[in-house]
Structure 1
Amino acid sequence: MARFIEVHPVDPQPRAIAQTVAALRDGALIAYPTDSCYALGARLDSPSGPERIREIRHLDAKHDFTLVCSDFHQLGALVHLDNSAFRAIKAATPGPYTFILPATKEVPRRLHHPKKKTVGVRIPEHPVVRALLRELGEPMLSSTLLLPGHDEPLTDGWQINEEIGHALDIVLDSGECGTEPTTVVDFSSGAPEVVRVGAGDPTPFE
């Protein structure tokens, strides 16, 4: 069963963040809050993280994983950006958006879309995940915590622990957060295409 760690949603306790990051560095899979909804997270180089996420969510190999970044500098090292994409994404971050873009060589191949060689990237605004990323010092592999057969993501840490705690190492609980996943914008063909409308306003990309 997962270790259950409660954390303040606005001013997360450094001890709780440090414990969670130590577990991530040891290969843990965690559930954590974001500015859109709860998500699953692991280190980019975790040997088991991608497969554990696919198993929990019943995803196939064509799913675009999301790499969660602390700032635009980290994001820019992971994906190729032309000037128009740079300006549009810069204006919308941090916030509840995921952007699909061609991956750079910094991204492990096993995290790419197998044909398009793309990956999702995002810079969240929630204080807990921002504290996690600062302590970790690198981007984190992530996926929305939307379970098979569910119309909405799980919204409470205790509910996540009850339903899938057996498949996780840590549930980082900051109380209820949103029920809408991120708005997803695909820049991989050059022009932006809104492929999922979620918590972020899609208007700037339409």
Structure 2
Amino acid sequence: MNISLDRLIRGAKEGKIISFPTDTVPGMATIPTKAELIYIAKQRSLDKPLILMGAEPESLWEYVKGSDQEYEIWQEVVNRYWPGALTLVLPASDKVPRVMNPQDPTTIGIRVPNHPIARAILAQTGPMATTSVNLSGKPPLETQAEIAGEFPDVLTEELIEYKGLGVPSTVAKWTENHWQILRQGSIIVG
């Protein structure tokens, strides 16, 4: 459903599913406590976690936990690659709703996209549970028309162009004091 940006943000705050462009592929998002709506809409298996996307790194730190030394390492990576197409999978704090990662609620993927519209929306809504816009197992949808056709109840902004890189983010998981690459995208972590 194509609506104004103000209505999109209001709908997001009310717990509806929204879509917005990112630097990779368009995102489907809702407030973290309503994340189960994304699983239902996408017909997504519960073994595939969602990520938490925010406008700024500072908005995401309360959702993770680690030692002071780990935070320093994570901050160095964030300073180098964010905003950008890098998802960091870190130990989850108690603030993360279990539905974000039902199979392993001890971790959460976090990211700050390098897209001005996404960040403007996230600055007003706060961190959102996100994933790509597609039915599970199908390629990500790339245009408003495709999104509206497949997901008529998902709110999209009427004037936004949805073209990103088309390449999903790199996913790096923090395990035993080093990074494990779970999915290689456009960013090489080194």
TM-score (norm 1): 0.81
Shift of 1:149: 4.1
Once residues 127 and 117 of structure 1 are traced to their aligned partners in structure 2, the CA distance between those partners, rounded to angstroms, is: 30
- The equivalent residue for 2:52 is 67
Q: Secondary structure at the match of 1:100?
A: strand
Q: Which residue of 1 aligns with 2:131?
A: 143
Using the TM superposition, give the Cα deviation of residue 30 of structure 1 relative to its aligned residue in structure 2, in angstroms.
1.1
CA contact (8 A) 1:57 1:147 kept: yes
1:22-74 CA-to-partner distances (Å, cap 9, x unmatched) read: 1112221112111111111001222xxx2221133332222221111111111
**Do the aligned residues in 1 keep the contact of 2:53 with 2:110 (CA within 8 Å)?**
yes
Residue 201 of structure 1 corresponds to which residue in structure 2?
187
Judge conservation of contact 1:153–1:181 (CA < 8 Å) in 2. Answer: no
Aligned to 1:78: 63
Map Cα deviations across residues 91-122 of structure 1 (whole Å, 9 max, x no partner).
Answer: 11000111111111221223234336111100
Match of 2:25 in 1: 37
Shift of 1:21: 1.1
Structure 2 residue aligned with 1:158: 145
Q: Is the 8 A contact 1:78 1:105 kept in 2?
A: yes
**Would you say the 8 A contact 2:92–2:105 is kept in 1?**
no
Distance across 2 between alignment mates of 1:146 and 1:181: 13
Equivalents in 2 of 1:116, 1:191: separation in Å?
20
Q: Between the two proteins, what is the percent identity of the paired residues?
A: 23
Tell me the number of residue pairs that the alignment of Structure 1 and Structure 2 aligns: 184
Distance 2:176 2:134 in 1: 27
SS of equivalent residue, structure 2 residue 109: strand
1:156 is displaced (CA, Å) by 0.5
State the distance in 1 between where 2:47 and 2:176 align: 17
1:99 & 1:146 partners in 2: Cα distance? 22
Q: Tell me the residue number matched to 2:38.
A: 53
1:110 and 1:149 map into 2 onto residues whose CA distance is 20
Normalised to the residue count of structure 2, the TM-score between the two structures is 0.87
RMSD: 1.9
For the residues of structure 2 that align with 1:163 and 1:22, how far apart are their CA atoms? 22
Correspondence 1:106-121 to 2 at 5 A: 106-115=95-104, 117-121=106-110
Q: Which residue of structure 2 lines up, in the alignment, with residue 4 of structure 1?
A: 2
Tell me if 1:175 matches 2:161: yes
Deviation, 1:146, is 3.6
Aligned with 1:192: secondary structure?
Answer: strand
- Are the structure 2 counterparts of residues 149 and 84 from structure 1 closer, same or farther at C-alpha, using a change threshold of 3 Å? closer
Q: Which amino acid is the alignment partner of residue 175 of structure 1? A: E
Q: Does the 8 Å CA contact 2:57/2:78 hold for their aligned counterparts?
A: no
- The 1-side partners of 2:29 and 2:52 are apart by 9
